[in-house]
Chain A
């Protein structure tokens, strides 16, 4: 039975929740709004909310001056490539741990998770050194490998928790009917696993897109994604608010949209299934 709620209380809650929601969202809203102003209007005091001349000029200037598309493309390649590679490696691992568990499965899962806790800065020099040795510095393939490895534990975990929810009886039945391992995976497991895999892909694209330690430290001009591109606005370019805003808006828009679709999976993925 639902709790009876007085209209008065609902109105009050609505006002409070919206006020706080808008306050938290304000910096993002302000960034998007400022990206459509001229530089002079962007620093106007009092701040301008609607009464300015909307312009798309900043977007054109950002692209023209810094070849924005190349950074965007790098972000897409890095986030997409590392996620895809991670999924290819993690699906078999998570499948076997979920359906053919052994005594050590739990230990392996926890150990995998523990590699995620390794502070990146502790291994910064060794990784840079290996990158130099293998000619991976400032290459996309090198970054794809690193991003894949730092997110692999999360991918395995998420897939594992999703696969665990698939009823084993169905697999048993398929086996009874004489389905081999390959058929079992292709025709029985895959259709049921697709939603979980999709959520995992979504969350990992977000994590890889926003990763800002290795992408800042292992790239220069060639493989730098949007995180590094925005960091180059540190100063003095950062004082051109309208351009900073346009660059920022373009950098966060795709992931903001993906993120809104993945709210539920976010909890499961980031708590390693401990909160669902």
Chain B
């Protein structure tokens, strides 16, 4: 049993991590909250030293009323939703395929996982220039080969292009987690079903899918949190034009480009609330898992 001595020692050992994270969370959060109620345009002479005007919920209202707000919500939903649908569906299929016995399993696994380790700026630029460029990109070559007119992917089909790039980055994550989950499936159960003559589809819907339920939920929640804040992929490709200005990118532009700190902070508070709604569900699952 833990003694009082070791218990107080334990508390002491936890302190640095707790204090650091507490500061990391509370200090910037308080500042964002404070700025969100202030008129703060540094370019127009507002400064912290001279004091900022209190504007109540003005920034919150203006952020929502602005003409770029709803398009940014739409862009966010399309990108996050699109990537989720693609990575989860392909991830399940790929995980099932990779779970079958075949020659070179180890190598194929490595090939499939590799995109996850590529830094976001590299994958975005490689896709943008070497694949999606309308003159010299690989897709342009392919299109011309089939006698079609090359497409300016990142301007004419910007949202699907971003979805493709981000899906490529996240498919390995979904596949790897779902594969891990499938491998924990009781193989005797599968065998029994197979011997009973259950058709492939029935086995999929009645055994594999229910077993994967929890893993799929986790993939969706974790990816949603990361996808809500994708930044570099948009920063180096479209810079937020052509309908790819997500909520994150809109807030970034308010703060950095137009230097409207009050407005950007109000947007930031919205983003924090949104992320927390997703996080609550994730935490519940992770928390339940701790008890077992």
Residues of A within 8 A of B (CB): 1, 3, 5, 9-10, 13-14, 16-18, 20-22, 24-25, 27-28, 30-31, 34, 43, 45-47, 89-90, 92-93, 95-97, 99-100, 102, 106, 108-110, 112-115, 117-127, 129-130, 149, 152-153, 156, 181, 206, 209-210, 212-213, 216-217, 226-228, 230-231, 233-234, 238-239, 241, 244-245, 248, 251-252, 255-256, 258-260, 263, 266-267, 270-276
Q: Which of A119, A238, A275 contacts B180 (CB 8 A)?
A: A275
Given A25-B112, A122-B29, A210-B118, 13 other A-B residues pairs in contact with their CB atoms under 8 A = A5-B100, A13-B102, A18-B104, A21-B107, A28-B114, A45-B141, A89-B16, A99-B2, A210-B119, A212-B231, A213-B231, A266-B116, A273-B286
Complex CA distance for A30 and B130, rounded to whole angstroms: 9
B31 — which chain A residues lie within 8 A by C-beta? 123, 125-126, 129
B residues 202-221 in Cβ contact with A at 8 Å: 214-215, 218
Task: Evaluate contact between B11 and A115: CB separation under 8 angstroms.
Answer: no
**How far apart are the CA atoms of A251 and B118 in the complex, in Å?**
8
Known interface pairs A121-B271, A122-B32, A130-B28; A234-B122 also in contact (CB < 8 Å):
no
| Least CB separation from A240: chain B residue | B129
Q: Is the CB of A93 within 8 A of B16?
A: yes
Given contacts A46-B145, A112-B21, A271-B177, contact A17 B129 (CB under 8 A): no
Interface residue from A125, A213, A248 paired with B264 (Cβ < 8 Å): A125
Q: Which of B118, B181, B190 has the most CB of A within 10 A?
A: B118
**In the complex, which residue of chain A has the Cβ closest to the Cβ of B270?**
A122
- Taking the closest CB of chain A, its distance from the CB of B254, in whole angstroms, is 10
**CB pair B117 A255 closer than 8 Å:** yes
Q: B290's closest neighbor in chain A, by CB?
A: A106
Q: How far is B17's CA from A97's CA once the two chains are assembled, in angstroms?
A: 12
Given known A95-B13, A100-B6, contact A3–B180 (CB-CB < 8 A): no
A216 contacts B231, C-beta separation under 8 Å: yes
Q: Which residues of B have CB within 8 Å of A95?
A: 10, 13
> In the complex, what's the smallest C-beta–C-beta distance from A44 to chain B, in angstroms?
9
Bound complex: CA of A258 vs CA of B138, how far in Å? 29
Within B122-158, the residues touching A (CB, 8 Å) are: 122-123, 125-131, 133, 136, 138, 141, 144-145
Classify the secondary structure of A's interface with B: helix
Residues of B within 8 A of A210 (CB): 117-120
* Per-residue interface assignment for chain B, residues 208 to 245, with 1 indicating a CB less than 8 Å from any chain A CB and 0 otherwise: 00000011001000100100110110011000000000
Known A3-B191, A123-B29: A231·B176 in contact at CB below 8 Å:
no
Inter-subunit contact B102/A14 (CB<8 Å) = yes
Q: Offer 22 A-B interface pairs, CB within 8 angstroms, sorted by A.
A: A1-B191, A5-B100, A10-B100, A14-B102, A17-B108, A30-B130, A45-B144, A95-B13, A96-B11, A100-B9, A119-B272, A121-B271, A124-B255, A126-B27, A126-B29, A213-B229, A227-B120, A244-B126, A255-B119, A273-B289, A275-B180, A275-B181
Any A CB within 8 A of the CB of B110: yes
Number of residues on chain B facing chain A (CB within 8 A) = 110
Q: In the complex where A99-B10, A212-B231, A248-B126 touch, is A24 in contact with B111 (Cβ < 8 A)?
A: yes
Q: Name which residue of chain B comes closest to A75, CB basis.
A: B119
* Contact status A106-B287, CB under 8 Å: yes
Q: A89-B16, A271-B177, A271-B218 are in contact. Are A153 and B268 (CB under 8 A)?
A: no
Q: Are B286 and A110 within 8 A (Cβ)? A: yes
Closest B residue to A226 by CB, please name it.
B119
Which of A13, A18, A256, A273 has a CB less than 8 Å from the CB of B100? A13
Which A residues lie within 8 Å of B114 (CB)? 24-25, 28, 256, 259-260
Q: Within 8 Å of chain A (Cβ to Cβ): is B66?
A: no
- A21 and B111 contact, Cβ closer than 8 Å, known pairs A119-B229, A149-B24: yes
Assuming the contacts A45-B144, A115-B24, A124-B268, asked whether A110 and B100 have C-beta atoms less than 8 A apart, the reply is no
Smallest CB gap from A92: residue in B = B13
- CB-CB < 8 A to B283: which residues of A? 110, 113-114
Q: Which residue of A lies closest to B248 (CB)?
A: A121
Verify A10–B103 contact, CB threshold 8 A.
yes
Q: How far is the CA of A205 from the CA of B208 in the complex (A)?
A: 34
Complex Cα gap A165–B18 (Å): 23
Q: Give Cα A239–Cα B117 distance, bound, in whole angstroms.
A: 23
B110 touches A260 (CB 8 A): yes
A244 to chain B, nearest CB (A): 6
Residues of B within 8 A of A231 (CB): 121, 125, 232, 235-236
Question: Is B218 touching A274 in the complex (CB atoms < 8 A)?
Answer: yes
B161 at the interface (CB under 8 A from A): no
Q: Which residues from chain B contact A1 at a C-beta distance below 8 Å?
A: 188, 191
Cβ contacts under 8 Å, A181 to chain B: 5-6, 9
Q: Is the CB of B117 within 8 A of A206?
A: yes
* B24, B129, B231: the one within 8 Å of A241 (CB): B129
Do B138 and A30 touch (CB < 8 A)? yes
Interface residues of B in 244-258 (CB under 8 A from A): 248, 251-252, 255-256
Chain B residues with CB under 8 Å of A258's CB are 117
